[in-house]
Amino acid sequence: MTASISTDSVAPKAFGALALRGYRAYLLTFMLTMMADNIEHVISYWVVFQKFHSPALGGFAVVSHWLPFLAFSVAIGALNDRLDSRRLIQAGAVLFIVASAGWGYFFVTDTLQMWHAMVLLVIHGCAGVLWVTSSQMLLYDIVGPAALPSAVRLAATARYLGVLVGPGVGSVVMLTLGPTRGIFFNTVFYLPLLLWLIAAPYGRHFRGGSSAPKRAVRGFADIVQTIREVRTIPLLATMILLVGGASFFIGNSYQAQMPGFANDLGHGDPGTAYTMLLAADAAGALLAGIVLESRGGIFKMSPGAAAMLAMGWSAALFGFALVHTYALAIALLFLAGFFELSFSSMAQTLVQMHAPEATRGRVLGLYNMAAAGLRAFSGITVGLVGSIVSVHTSLAVAAGAFVSVSAILFARLRATTT
């Protein structure tokens, strides 16, 4: 299953976004923040598990990570339409630091209670939605539409690199400095982002031309109004439905079930098998980022291509859920990682490029509400259902359902363009 190959007469320059000085600074601070995010997870989750041994708290950690995206993404986007995106990103960085320092305080005083942990997890989740949505808004101002596909792909690749490297760095930090010193040390990784944005010459105040009219931030009414506006732009509506369906049905819930898959595949040491399965998914995504950038973009930038790549992702996961051969499972996860980065980065790029200037922040907020917020429900479609019928069956059904959703969206796109 392949997407259309680009036939543009002038191919995009390989790694084109890296030629922009501002983007290099953006990418470096993005990577450090993503790595710090994962380091905090490694240290805090380990200490919390040792202290409470509570599966319910582990489940709350997942919900608190994604629910703020569902509740606040559009509101944060609306703030970006009115305020300086740099300051909103800095507010997110400060909340990240508060969360890490908060864990450190309770580790030092040995006074951590379950409700303390829940509050810190919520703070961390709110920091994430401030950072992600506002960073996407600022990214468009830094690189412009021409370099946007390259910039989004590279940022997505950096995200997977942070997911791949962050836990390893977190383990080294925890083993070397201990959890208490390690969690305090982790705050340092947020400082480059915080400091660079003090005077970074990007954002609405540095745009040419007249500023877009400012619409009041109206909470839930903003979500309804933005949905109505997006429905009038088929490309935006389709891409948001596509990423929303991917998050709702599958999300990253299969990664949380990876120990069970590793055990069922029965290939040697379950711990090694588990690590290799996670690494295969991340490696596929990393290769996608490198290959797509080194070729300057090999897939045509179109909604149809994004839908086809999404079908490839869900088909690979459908196969992974049902196979019993370890080598084949590794190969399918590798393909899943490749397709996932390809379709998600393409969908985000299309949304950023076609969002109306006056409501770009709200549209990006709605995109993140769908792409990240709906992941809170994938724990039900794969995890909870899996506890009843087996995780293999639940993932296969969820992946099959998303293949159907992608196919329907693809057919609608074909119908509207013919």
pLDDT digits 0-9 by tens, 111-135: 999 999 999 999 999 999 999 999 9
- Encoding tokens for residue 270? 């379950």
Kindly report, residue by residue over 44-56, the tens digit of the pLDDT: 878 887 888 776 7
Q: At what angle do helices 234-249 and 391-417 cross, to 10 degrees?
A: 170
- Does 2 score more than 50 pLDDT? no
The answer to whether the 14-203 and 218-418 domains have the same CATH topology is yes
pLDDT number for residue 207: 60
Q: What is the mean pLDDT of residues 243-259?
A: 84
Q: How many residues does the chain have?
A: 418
**Does residue 248 register a pLDDT over 70?**
yes
Q: 368 or 42: whose pLDDT is higher?
A: 368
Enumerate residues 6+ apart whose C-beta is below 8 A from 286.
Answer: 157, 160, 161, 164, 337
Q: How does the average pLDDT of the chain come out, rounded?
A: 85
CATH, domain range 218-418: 1.20.1250.20
Most confident of 9-13, 240-244, 278-282: 240-244
Q: Using alpha carbons only, how large is the chain's radius of gyration in Å?
A: 21
Q: Over the range 93-120, which residues count as b (16 or more CB within 10 Å of their CB) and which as e?
A: bebbbebbebbbbbbeeeebeeeebeeb
The answer to whether 31 and 158 have CB atoms below 8 angstroms apart is yes
pLDDT-derived band at 296 (thresholds 50, 70, 90) equals low
How many CB atoms within 10 Å of residue 20?
17
pLDDT computed for residue 59 by the predictor = 66
Q: Give the helix, strand, coil percentages of the chain, each rounded to 5.
A: 85, 0, 15
Is pLDDT of 408 > 90? yes
Q: Per-residue DSSP letters for 18-77?
A: GGSHHHHHHHHHHHHHHHHHHHHHHHHHHHHHHHH--HHHHHHHHHHHHHHHHHHHHHHH
Q: Residue 163: what pLDDT? A: 66
Q: How far apart, in whole angstroms, are the C-alpha atoms of residue 112 and residue 369?
A: 31
Q: Where are the domains of the chain?
A: 14-203, 218-418
Q: Which fold has domain 14-203?
A: Growth Hormone; Chain: A; (1.20.1250)
Tell me what the mean pLDDT of segment 88-99 comes to. 97
Return all residues near 67 (Cβ < 8 A) that are at least 6 apart. 125, 373, 376
For range 318-329, the mean pLDDT: 93
Mind listing the pLDDT tens digit for each residue in 178-188?
899 999 999 99
* Mean pLDDT calculated for residue range 346-368: 90
Query: Which of the four pLDDT bands, split at 50, 70 and 90, describes residue 167?
Result: low
Tell me what pLDDT residue 334 has. Answer: 94
* Whether residue 393 has pLDDT greater than 60: yes
Q: For residue 306, which phi and psi values (nearest 5 degrees)?
A: -60, -40
pLDDT for the residue 24: 94
Whose CA is closest to 204, among 360, 84, 25? 84
Instruction: Give the per-residue pLDDT at 1.
Output: 43
